[in-house]
Structure 1
Amino acid sequence: MGASASVAHADGSGRGAPTFVLVHGSGSNSYYWQPLLRELGLRGHRAIAVDLPGHGPGAYLPESYQFPQDLDRLRTEPSPISRVTLGDFAVHVIGVVRRARRNGPVVLVGGSLGGATLNAVANQVPDLLAHLVYASAFCPTEHPSVLRLMMTPEAATSSVFRLPAIQTPPELGVSRVNWRSGDPAFFALVKESIAADRPDAEVRALMNILEPDESAAVGASEDARGLPTGWGRVPRTFLRYTQDRTIPLPLQDLMIREADATTPHNPFRVRSLPAPHAGPRDPALLADELELVARLSR
């Protein structure tokens, strides 16, 4: 499945300028970053958005997910993404980083569950990275996994707990969400969870680029901690999304505190943006922040 993962890119600056490598979150793909890619490209920056293994053109969409949907079958239909691991994500992104590094410094950017991949990559190849940017992304350090972070009191208000997922059997190894549900109550919860500031039409467009399946192991059982010997050597920025109801501010701040305690000599550079989980509606706000990081990374 790793071979099917693809790369979308916006070409800009010449050799020696930082390259932004963008990593998407759960059930997403490189298309999520297209507005930011466009903005960065127009500003003359080099940026690449990866499709993690099992996502984008390599995604498996269950037959029961198509219209007309078979909801009973959707609960049990297997998906090859169940075999994909955080290690597979890391291997793929490291390959992209190695190629991008030939042109100059690399700034690795992750959103949501993509933060776990940032940790895994930085643990293995810290010398290839100029900076890490967590855009309201998970950054486990003291807690071993994303699931353990979501079990903390700081995560208690997360709207994810009210967002109905497909109840698949544990042995299926898949976290599955029916983004094509026609239930108005489901739509309202999705909007509240990820894009409360968007008009309904934009939320529907966002839902239609999301993929139903994610490997359950990536967030639940795999050790995703950033380690001082690797990850802890890379300068890092955390972009706090102050309107995020999926990763609420108390949880974002907990991750920042725990990371800083793990490497007090290399604390997070922290910036706050008035954005929900899906990020700023205006990609210029995020591009402005990445330009600041680029200056630090030259």
Structure 2
Amino acid sequence: MQPTFVLVHGAFANSFSFAPLQAELGLLGHRSVAVDLPGHGFAATYPRAYQAPQDLEGLAAPGAIKGVTLADNVAHLVGILERAKRNGPVVLVSHSRGGLTATVAANQRPDLIDRIVYVSAWCPVDLDVNAYYAEPEMATADAAGLMAALVGNPAELGLLRVNFRTADPGVLASFKASFLADGTDDEFMVFLNTFQPDENLDTGTPDDRARPDTWGRIPKSYVRLTEDAGIPLAMQDRMIREGDALTPENPYDVHTLAGSHLKWLVDPAPAARVLGDIAALLPAES
């Protein structure tokens, strides 16, 4: 039976970023669903102050994603997985911060997932995700643009707000280096304008790490992105090692794509082929 790919976006992103990948998957004969986590997509907040001419003081105001938790994300994703599972096998694919939601969903409902796939995504095992940022593998990560474009005090706003519509050339250059250094300037600006300004603050607790008795039962794949400056290759490889150590009887099936954090979404044909190969690993009776 044909599987359904359920695609989970990363921070500040939404289902729109998966449109080119879904087109490639469709042309290869695959079915897919792109998820908008709570407060994302058409549920996002774009304040008038975000429009030109920008009012940076007015931009430091609450938005719809305030108070959204990782548990909210997981509940939303589980509802989608339940619906998708009615139609056959499910391959859950997450990118970047979306891996946190995918991992907790797998902890809670392994029965809904036939294979879980991380594309340069977080899957905490040994540490909380925030603690990984202090580890040596993250030493080359580039978050300068995000920090420079941060608006307001996250603790006061109850959310992260980043001004992706800044015209500061230094910040834009830093964004490009972080997200899409191997893309053209036009590709970068197009993708940047699909980002939304807000992201929630909740990255989970120690209880939200991968668990061997539930998450560990699901066949899993990891797609490494070789030039990723957001989650460097060294950290991706650490995620793989930790997952394999947690469930040595069920190690990651590992694939590698050349490119930056977003290149696989801008030029999605290679990624679609990799996902097709991963889907072929599902048991014939699934």
* TM norm structure 2: 0.94
Task: Name the structure 2 match of 1:263.
Answer: 247
User: 1:171 maps to which residue?
Assistant: 156
Secondary structure of 2:99's counterpart equals helix
Aligned partners of 1:237 and 1:200: how far apart in 2?
32
In the TM superposition, what whole-angstrom CA distance separates every residue of 1:69-121 from its partner, at most 9, and x where no partner exists?
111232x3112312101111111111111111111100000001000011011
Picking from 133, 136, 149, the partner of 1:153 is 136
Change (3 A) 1:215 1:222: farther
Unaligned runs of 5+ in 2: none
Q: Point out the more displaced range, 148-157 or 188-197.
A: 148-157
Identity, % of aligned pairs? 47
Corresponding pairs, count: 280
Q: CA separation in 1, counterparts of 2:180 and 2:237?
A: 20
Alignment pair present for 1:183 and 2:168: yes
Quick check: 1:297 aligned with 2:271?
no
- Residues 189 and 223 of structure 1: CA distance in aligned 2, closer, same or farther (over 3 Å): farther
Give, in angstroms, the shift of residue 62 of structure 1.
Answer: 2.4
Whether 1:60 and 2:24 are equivalent positions in the alignment is: no
Q: Which residue of 70, 89, 93 corresponds with 2:55? A: 70
Counterpart in the other structure of 1:242: 226
Match of 1:7 in 2: none
CA pair 223-156 structure 1, distance change in 2 beyond 3 A: farther
Q: CA deviation at 1:161?
A: 4.1
CA contact (8 A) 1:173 1:217 kept: no
Which residue does the alignment assign to 2:80?
96
Amino acid at match of 2:142: S
- SS where residue 253 of structure 1 aligns? helix
Backbone CA RMSD of aligned residues? 1.5
Mapped to 2, the partners of 1:151 and 1:79 lie a distance apart of 29
Q: Describe how 1:187-198 pairs up with structure 2 within 5 A.
A: 187-198=172-183
After TM superposition, the score normalised by the length of structure 1 is 0.90
Instruction: Give 1:182 deviation, angstroms.
Output: 0.5
Contact 1:36/1:284 (CA < 8 Å) preserved in 2?
A: yes
CA contact (8 A) 2:183 2:263 kept: no
| 1:79 aligned partner | 63
Aligned 8 A contact 1:243 1:274 in 2: yes
